[in-house]
Each structure stands twice: as structure tokens, then as C-alpha cells.
Amino acid sequence: MDIKAISSENRRQIDDFISSHWFSTDMVVKGELVDMTVLDGFAVYDNEAVIGLVTYRIRSNECEIMSLDSLRGKQGIGTALVNKVIEIAREKKCTKIKLVTTNDNINAIRFYQKRGFDMTNLYRNALNVSRELKPSIPLLGDFDIPIKHEIEFEMDLKNQ
Ligand SMILES: CC(C)(COP(=O)(O)OP(=O)(O)OC[C@H]1O[C@@H](n2cnc3c(N)ncnc32)[C@H](O)[C@@H]1OP(=O)(O)O)[C@@H](O)C(=O)NCCC(=O)NCCS
């Protein structure tokens, strides 16, 4: 699999990819507006085209996955990208990897739990605040489920 880190060379292409999948390059996580154009990450390429992307940040020994997208499902792209973040987080001596997804994202909730992430927090009605900061967030998500809450997952790296 052709995986490249985000760098000054592919930054613009990555920003375009983020805009087209997340409505803008700003993302709201737990009430914080995050500028995704400055995040680290890894992209999967098919020739020149980006077909998968993970972004993350590391603060105070905690790694946080900010986005994960695979354009070709069920081929191992999502798993490979998460594994790259786990590798980096271990290298940087992080104690955990955190991420947040929304209540409609049944696929991600399955995906992360099967890869060693445990559900740790529910932020009820977090999307009310998110929509104030980013009005483009739709009301309905996967399976037309109303997007209302954030669910936090963590992978503990201390005991592994
Ligand atoms: C969640 C997401 C990133 C998963 O990406 P993906 O590339 O499909 O992930 P993988 O291919 O590694 O794994 C998905 C499933 O395909 C299976 N799979 C992988 N390769 C396979 C193959 N060759 N044949 C059959 N199944 C395969 C995996 O076992 C996995 O199933 P499981 O979770 O039940 O074990 C993707 O669905 C996505 O982009 N969703 C939209 C954005 C999103 O919700 N992001 C996460 C929230 S931040």
C-alpha cells in the first residue's frame, strides 16, 4: 500500500481532500474548532490520487485521531492508516490514543472497537455546540440517524 506522510509537498491536495469529505477544513471536536490544515497525518495513494487519509495530533503524551477516511472500503485502508498512527504514538511515547465519532456512525463504532479502542465517554448533545461553530454539519447522518452526540474511544498504550 502506498502510504505517505502529510508534508509541504502534498498539503494542498490533502486540504482539498478534507474539504470535500468534511464540508470544510475546520472540524469541531468536543466544542473545539480545529484547523485541520495544520494537522499531521498519513495518506494512501492510488497513483496520484488520495484514496485514504488519517489526521492526528499529539498533546501532553496523548495522541488524538482527528479524522479517518477511506474511499475504498473493506480493502484494509482504514486499518493500515490506524496502524500508522499507533506506530507513531508508540514512537512518541504516548500513553493513549483518543478519538471521537458521532452517534450515527455505526460503521466507525464497529471498526474502532474491533481494533482495540474502548468506549470511554458520551458527550450528549455535543452537536448543538458543534453546529454553532460549523453550521454545515448535517442534521441527519448514516442511515438517516439524527447526529446528536459524540462518543469518545480510547486505546490504552501504557499496558500494551
Ligand atoms: C471507518 C472507515 C475508515 C473504515 O475504512 P476501511 O478502509 O473500510 O477499513 P478496513 O478495510 O481496514 O476495514 C473495514 C472492514 O473491512 C474488512 N476487510 C478488510 N480487507 C478486506 C478484504 N480484503 N476483504 C474483505 N473484507 C475486508 C475488515 O476486516 C473490516 O471489517 P471489521 O471492522 O468487521 O473487522 C471507513 O468506513 C470510512 O471512511 N468511513 C467514513 C468516515 C468515517 O466514518 N471515519 C471514522 C470516523 S472519524
DSSP conformational letter for 63: E
In angstroms, the CA 45 to CA 59 distance is 28
Residue in 79, 100, 110, 112 to alter for ligand 1 test, most ligand atoms within 8 A of Cβ: 79
Under a CB-based contact definition with an 8 Å cutoff, are residues 28 and 67 in contact?
A: no
Q: Which amino acid, one-letter code, is at 51?
A: I
Residues sharing a CB contact under 8 Å with residue 84, sequence separation 6 or more, in sequence order: 3, 42, 54
**Using CA atoms in the order 152, 153, 157, 160, what is the torsion angle rounded to 10 degrees?**
150
- Extract the C-alpha cell encoding 10: 502534498
pLDDT at position 159: 74
Q: If phi over 0 gives left and psi between -120 and 50 gives alpha, with beta otherwise, what is residue 101?
A: beta
Under a CB-based contact definition with an 8 Å cutoff, are residues 152 and 112 in contact?
A: no
User: Between the CA of residue 1 and those of 38, 40, 42, 47, 151, what are the distances in Å?
Assistant: 24, 19, 12, 11, 30
Task: Write out the chain's pLDDT in tens, 160 residues.
Answer: 999 999 999 999 999 999 998 888 999 999 899 999 999 999 999 999 999 999 999 999 999 999 999 999 999 999 999 999 999 999 999 999 999 999 999 999 999 999 999 999 999 999 999 999 989 899 999 999 999 999 999 999 987 7
pLDDT at position 101: 97
pLDDT at position 22: 84
User: Which domains, and CATH codes, for the chain?
Assistant: 2-156 (3.40.630.30)
| Ligand 1 geometric centre to CA of 16 (Å) | 22
N-term to C-term CA, the chain: 26
Residue in 42, 70, 100 to alter for ligand 1 test, most ligand atoms within 8 A of Cβ: 70
Report the predicted TM-score, pTM, of the whole model to 2 decimal places: 0.94
pLDDT at position 107: 97
pLDDT at position 23: 81
